[in-house]
Amino acid sequence: MVPEKPARYGGEPIRDEVLGYGGQSITEREKEAVVEALEGDYITRGPTVTEFEERVADLVGVEHAIATTSGTTALHLAGEAAGFGPGDEVITTPLTFVSTAHAATYTGATPVFADIDPHRRTLDPDAVRDQITDDTVGLVPMHYAGHPADIEGLLEVADEQDLTVIWDACHAFGGTWEGEPIGAQRDLAIFSFHPVKSVTTGEGGMVVTDDDDLAARIRRLRSFDMSYDPDGHEEEPWYQVAEGVGYNYNVTDIQAALGLTQLDRLDDFKRRRDEIIEQYDEAFAEIDGIRTPPQAANADPLYHLYAIEVSEEFGCDCKEFVNAMHAENIGVQVHYVPLHFHPLFQDRYGYTEGDFPATERVYERIVSLPFFPEMDSSDVRNVVQAIDRLHQYHAE
């Protein structure tokens, strides 16, 4: 029995325990795999990391996969390997997590924002064209929520201008576009294995590419930029020397063991996420003022977020909606505060609110509902009930 008034206006919360918007699924198999890795010889980066990389390369259909400590460090290595640097401009979306822009900022290049296509919520190729200058060297599109960006349109712009493309595919691991895995498109793509993502290693990331030189550069940068067998030192097995300023972005066999077990469950994760989408889509079809997420054409995404848009007809604005859902103990989230609102990009690069109208219109309305494989049908029902009664309350 659902009490009448929403909790924000004096009723009882629909749930006693908070339902988060995302989260991992860990079974006994994952735990056993991690313990087994702990009993191995390496603990740190060893054969299990190599196996994890090979499985991801296979799954994405690329030559190389290089595991890193996070999606953020994957973006750093990809940007540096791509040769971005001071004086260069790299175009990206403002509707993303801050790390996407760091493929540029970490290297000293300037991140340049271009507005989004509000339907897909991803970079609009024409808006990208408008931002191109003689200094533009790269593009970092992001597949928002797992829905592919306009891959064809963006590659066309990249071809016209000879730009290096790094696809931020943190939301899109395990999906396909035009029958091809997302992440297989040139030049590089990166994934995150944070616990809210479709597959997790605790923290972790991956760079994928078909380019042998980029892959070799990334492997070196990941691990101190060391040469482990410099010419002329064949009889000195200890002789390892740094040839540049590298990093320690090595992942551990423990994380890779977790990742491998998660990959075994990828189809189950997708099936469950697709079921939840169907239940949500059906429930919200009749509610005024809720736009359900766009369905991708010619693609079979593994969606990461279920992000609705709440408009005036619903009865309250997005801020009220979020606070009302939190009062029901339902942990909705907003992805994202546009990057041109952040002090970093305003103070350093001169962006201001008002610069990207399509992004800002979407930001005013967008809310991510709880969406992860471990949600059961009563969790889904709670979300629907809470939205339903909030709508009814405001309709009166």
Ligand X SMILES: Cc1ncc(COP(=O)(O)O)c(C=O)c1O
List of residues contacting ligand X (CB under 6 A): 70-72, 96-97, 99-100, 142, 168, 170-171, 192, 194, 205
Type and span of the H or E element at 153 = helix 151-161
Comparison of 26 and 36: residue with beta carbon closer to ligand X:
26
Partners of 139 in the beta sheet? 91, 165
Closer residue to ligand X, CB minimum distance, 34 or 189: 189
Least Å distance, CB 256 to ligand X, is: 15
Query: Shortest gap between Cβ of 232 and ligand X (angstroms)?
Result: 39
d(C-alpha 168, C-alpha 83), whole Å: 17
Residue 39, judged by CB atoms within 10 A of its CB (0-12, 13-18, 19+), counts as exposed
Instruction: Tell me the closest approach of the beta carbon of residue 182 to ligand X, in angstroms.
Output: 13
Amino acid in position 33:
A
Q: How far is the CB of 72 from ligand X (least distance, A)?
A: 3
Contacts of 225 (CB under 8 A, 6+ apart): 242, 243, 244, 245, 246, 247
**Residue in the structure block whose two tokens are 């991956």:** 206
Torsion 82-87-93-95 (CA) sign: positive
Residue closer to ligand X, measured from CB, 88 or 168: 168
CB of 324 to ligand X, least distance (A): 25
Q: In whole angstroms, how close is the CB of 98 to ligand X at the nearest point?
A: 8
Least distance to ligand X, CB of residue 69, Å: 8
Contact present, 21 and 368 (Cβ < 8 Å): yes
Nearer to ligand X, 205 or 289 (CB): 205
**Residue closer to ligand X, measured from CB, 45 or 194:** 194
Cβ-based burial of 68 (10 A; exposed 0-12, middle 13-18, buried ≥19): buried
> How far apart are alpha carbons 244 and 257 in whole angstroms?
31
CB of 251 within 8 A of CB of 49?
yes
The residue (of 177 and 284) whose beta carbon lies closer to ligand X is 177
- Pairing mode of beta strands 188-192, 164-168: parallel
Task: Provide, rounded to whole angstroms, the least separation between the CB of residue 75 and ligand X.
Answer: 6
**Whose Cβ is closer to ligand X: residue 191's or residue 351's?**
191
| Residue nearest ligand X, Cβ-based | 71
The nearer residue to ligand X, 121 or 391, going by C-beta atoms, is: 121
Report the Cα 101 to chain-centroid distance in Å: 13
HSE value, Cβ hemisphere, 13 Å, CA-based, for 151: 28
